[in-house]
Amino acid sequence: MLPLLSSAASAATAKAAPAPVQMKPVRIRDVEIGTGRTKTIVSLIEATPDAVLSRARLMGAMAEIDVVEYRIDFLDAALDPQAVAATMRPVADAIKGKPLVVTFRTKAEGGQKAITPAQYAAVYNAVLDSGAGDLIDIEAALMADPAVAALKTRVQGMGRKVIMSHHDFQTTPSTEVMVALLRRQQALGADICKIAVMPHDPGDVLRLLDATWTVRRDYGDRPLITMAMGGLGTVSRVAGEMFGSSLSFGALGDPSAPGQIKVSDLNETLTLLHGALGK
């Protein structure tokens, strides 16, 4: 038999795991993103102002929903800045104080409509002029455009927060590429960094989780939102607190992206995991 190592020798040879970098949570109204249980977020994806407002009132009354995302690219009039802006204050009032994320997802990253960077900035600037909306989702790929870079500066200058995002509806990049994408968002000054990818096997999901934990542990001084989409990626939507993802998208009716689960089930699962991790 091989001799057993003494406990002292074992301790000497074992490497202590480095502590994760210090997180700077983002607090919006009564919700702190980046600490405790992964928070739930549900998207408004209706096409008309009346339908948006009806669904927003329902979301405002649901305790299972922590944050509301307004996907303005789903609006019929999404390319009309003033028409979009006119819907903002009624939606903010209808959700009863929940944090409101405003998102125009471009066609290039899985959204409903193609839009030029200049149009994109104009729509968002009209949203800012409305006085409603707490967080603005800006696609990192558009930050090279001066109008979009100026938009980002304006958002933060007004005391609002920027979610910088990247979406790949076709593949899951390598762990190294996903880490680099999230770190680039940090370097560009995002308050919250986001990446969504499409897995084709469980190994893709593992890479997404590995990239999430790597960034959270080594670089993640601000909240992350990461997910593998589709049915394969469901585990990434419920295990965020363990790996470092601070918000998870659930569905109320039709999902806004593949693989979202019903928000009531999502909330229950996130709460269960939070309790288990605390023991």
Catalytic residues: 167, 194
Distance of alpha carbon 144 from alpha carbon 142, whole angstroms:
5
Query: Rounded to an integer, what distance in angstroms lies between the CA atom of residue 52 and that of residue 46?
Result: 5
CB atoms within 10 A of CB 159: 7
